[in-house]
Chain A
């Protein structure tokens, strides 16, 4: 099987190692990974803020880049949701939409992986559901199953499905509210060392807030956590 990795803007710049972990993980499952070099931005920032023509341009570019891909796999829930949900509204031939998956979703729903390894034995972590992965893609159980089957304890968190306040441009248009929302997440966080999520924006936002407050929590991309699950944390 061959998949094309769509690394996404934040993945390329801020989560490069996590995206590399996604490649390692997929290869370890005998999946051939291709990285179309002329990929750019999926257009989500423009779409969410109402700049439709710009979003359409970026969607068209992306659809062209991944035209030949069997599967497009993204280490980002919200970008995957952009392809799956917004592209059909933006493009005349949105074939790429139905071939696009968030990483954890792809592993469970397409590859039918039930256990990656036992590399997270003894780890206590909390999982943050990105809103678009949860509500637009319906990804809820998949990442949890993968983490737990690798030995991790996903500690219950009453706010695990509540928005962290990132919201793309919302985070800079209403920064005070956005930060207050992050505080609610941080203030209700159970006693864990790590928060895992499939969404880079949420991780940067919560991590940025936690660092400003001097709160010591590690925010980890799902791709890296899953690679640890596979690779024994080595």
Chain B
């Protein structure tokens, strides 16, 4: 997918000033997620769970090659095709082959952020296939021609009325249709797509090495249909999704659902271990199962000792929901498939720091994300690593470098520093407002009053 992160500030400004309803919708949805999450963990030892989950994920990542090969062997035993894809274009080639070989004209898709990362929909369309997103939120934004603005709730930035309008235009539902009517209309249309599509595409929340099982969490039943009705199922699985043991899975399913939406577990969990009719596998299901193990930058992140922990991410979105920066804009401001705090630490590793700037700086470093991460990714520390690297590579602004250079020079010369503090009070406000950085401060804020005595002066006079 294309990355537009460099426009973060302009995009954020546009969302805040021109579409206040987006800010409101995102704020309400994320607060609801946060409340539900808190309730979901109220009856268990969250700290013990996250400590355990961190350990399992870190172990899997540091033994990744072994576990992936184990998963591959189990899947191949049951007749699945396992592909290893290093880049997005490798994935595209695999799909091109499948589409050609089977004459695929219709594709039904389960929600998959990895497929967004890989730009799969436009590619499939370029192969002449018609693509249906079957998650209701994904379907809405597909109709609108937008990208997901949240890892878990792709359409959380939209209001009910936005959906009414687009459904009215595209599906002919009444302009004031009830949510039930809207859902029914989508259901009718998608049901037909499920029954006529040759290919179903899904992601994979977890891949259990021991048993070669792909686990998928959902609430709508569309994943189950996408992965079982069409003749062919292709599961896209990021290589970091592997879990060592079958016994690990049930707790991860719970931790992920609790963190994401506050549910004890997703309404549907599908576990797929092979194509239909395979020995020791599935009694029914698609004729062909393809599992594509996708790298797309992940081994590069894994090899980076300062940021590899970001790969523990289970894509629950809890860090987005709690993030006060994310809440002001939703995901579209970030210009990258993974938005919010986790996107700003994963993106520079997966795509490259230059393309991702200024995302590591698009955070007030409040630290709330680290408190809710179910696998204890130290997001604020990772943001700091990327900031440091941006500075080292000369990617930050000259003004900032000069200002901090001056501050450092003054701060290691205490007389200059004390004097500078006093002098700051003598600048009239109209000058202050034109100074670099302070100019940005005066966007929406009055400049602080600096005309009184400094503390040094009070101290010298004697404090009583």
Contact = CB atoms under 8 A, between A and B. Distances in A.
B459 interface: yes
A132 B367 contact: yes
Contact of B387 (A50, A174, A204): A50
Interface string A158-183: 00001101111111111111111110
Interface residues on A, range: 35 or more
Contacts of B324: 162-163, 165, 181, 184
A128 interface: no
A37 interface: yes
Interface stretch (B255-263, B279-287, B355-363): B355-363
Taking chain A's interface residues, is the majority helix, strand, or loop, or is none over half, making it mixed? Answer: helix
Interface string B230-245: 0000000000000000
A41 B443 contact: no
Given A13-B450, A49-B387, A40 B417 contact: yes
B12 A54 contact: no
Contacts of A179: 443-445
Contact of A20 (B16, B396, B446, B463): B463
Contacts of A182: 444-445
Interface string A176-218: 1111111010000000000000000000110111011000000
Nearest to A12: B455
Contacts of B173: none
Interface in B248-277: none
A46 B407 contact: yes
A65 B417 CA distance: 14
Interface stretch (B109-117, B125-133, B135-143, B408-416): B408-416
B440 interface: yes
Interface residues on B, range: 35 or more
Contacts of B456: 7, 12, 37
Contacts of A50: 384, 386-391, 396
A72 interface: no
A58 interface: yes
Given A46-B407, A163-B364, A175-B441, A7 B448 contact: no
A176 B412 contact: no
A31 interface: no
B411 A16 contact: no
A136 interface: yes
A135 B421 contact: no
A30 to B, nearest CB: 16
A169 B328 CA distance: 18
B171 interface: no
A38 B329 CA distance: 43
A16 B458 contact: yes
Given A163-B364, A181-B324, A209-B444, A51 B9 contact: no
Contacts of A45: 404, 407
A166 B325 CA distance: 11
A162 to B, nearest CB: 5
Given A12-B421, A177-B329, A163 B368 contact: yes
B424 A20 contact: no
Given A7-B455, A173-B361, 14 more contacts: A13-B425, A16-B455, A17-B458, A38-B415, A48-B384, A49-B400, A51-B404, A57-B412, A131-B366, A135-B366, A165-B364, A172-B440, A172-B441, A184-B27
9 contacts: A16-B454, A37-B456, A49-B404, A58-B407, A169-B361, A169-B437, A177-B12, A179-B445, A184-B328
Interface of B: 8-9, 12-13, 16-17, 23, 27, 324-325, 327-329, 333, 358, 361-368, 370-371, 384, 386-391, 396, 400-401, 404-405, 407-408, 410-412, 414-415, 417-418, 421, 424-425, 437-438, 440-441, 443-450, 452-459, 463-464
**4 A-B pairs with least C-beta separation:** A167-B364, A50-B387, A208-B445, A38-B414
